[in-house]
Amino acid sequence: MRVLVTGGAGYIGAHTVQLLAARGDEVVVLDNLGSGKIERIGSTPLVNLNLSTATVEEVEAALREHAIDAVIHFAAHKQVGESVAKPAMYYADNVGSIAKLVMAMENAGVHKLVFSSSAAVYGNASGAITEAAPAEPISPYGATKLIGEQILSAAAQAWALRAASLRYFNVGGAGDAKLADSVALNLIPICLDHIAADTAPVIFGDDYDTPDGTCVRDYVHVVDVAEAHLAVLDALPEEPGNVILNVGTGVGTSVRQMVDALLAVSGSALAADVQLRRAGDPAAIVGDVTAIKEFAGWSARFSVDDIVNSAWQARQPAEAQS
C-alpha cells in the first residue's frame, strides 16, 4: 500500500512509519515538524504541511500526487493540561484537521483511515474498560478525540469510508533510540527527567483503593501500539464503517511499581516523593482488549519491563548503546 501518515515525525507516528517501511509499504509523512523531528523519518518522503491551517485542496493534492491508498492519522495537539488552558485552539485544530482530512480523502477517492484516538474519551471511568463504556471526556483534548470518532462514523454513513478509531492507553518505551519520546508529558519521561536531575520522582496519592495505594494504569509499549495500527489497517472490512477499538495490554501496573522499576533500571538511590492526590485521577483504569484481538488478531507482545528498559536505554548516550 501507499500509506500517508499524518504526524509521522512524532513519537508514535515515527514508530509506525518505520514498521510500514520495513514490511515494504510505500510511506509518505505529512507533518509540519512543529513537535515532530525530521531525523525520526530519515529518507521517507515528507509533505511539510500543517493540517490545521492547510486547505482541503492542499491535502487532496498531496493524496493525489502520491497516489495514496490509506491514511493513518496521528497529527494533533495532545496535552491535556494545555487543552484546558486553550480549549478553542484544540477544538479548532484537532477537529478542523480531521474534518479537512476526511473531506480531502473523499474528494481523492481514498477510502481507508486509521485514526489515533485516546482512552481520554472515557473520562473518569475506572476498572476494566470496554469500548461499550460511556464516552464522557473530561478535557477538551479528550472531547476533540471523541468528535473525531463521530466525524468518521458520520462520514462512513455518507460515503464509502472504511475507518477505525484506536483508543490507546498509556504508551511508553522506545523501539529505537532516535524514535524515543522526548517530551516530558507522561509518567515515564517525567520520571526519567527527575532521575537525570537527581531529584525525587513524584507520586500523586498513595491512599487509593488499590494493592499498593497508588493509581493503576495500563501501560503499553509504543512498538505494540504501532503494530496495532498496521494490524487494524490490514483488517479493515470491505464495507463502510468506523470500528472503535481499545489498544492496551489488559494488565494494570501501579504508579509505584512503574516508578520503582525506573529507579531500579537507572541504578538510582532516589526514593519517590509521595504528594497529595491530583483532582480527577481515577484509582484504576485498564483497557479490555478483547475486541481488537478478535478484529485484527492483535495482542500486545511487550511487558512493563520491556517498556522500562527500552525507555532507559534510549536515554543513554549513543556510544553506550553500541
- Tell me the sheet residues that pair with 164: 114, 243
- Tell me the sheet residues that pair with 116: 166
* Bridge pairing between strands 253-254 and 216-217: antiparallel
> CA torsion angle for 185, 186, 189, 193 (degrees, to 10)?
60
Helices H / strands E in the chain, number of each: 12, 15
Is 141 catalytic? The answer is: yes
- Tell me the sheet residues that pair with 202: 273
Give the residue among 280, 80, 75, 40 at the shortest CA–CA distance from 170.
Answer: 80
Give the residue among 178, 203, 179 at the shortest CA–CA distance from 190.
Answer: 203
147 and 95 Cβ atoms separated by less than 8 Å = yes
The active-site residue, picked from 141, 168, 208, 219, is 141
Q: Give me the active site residues, please.
A: 141
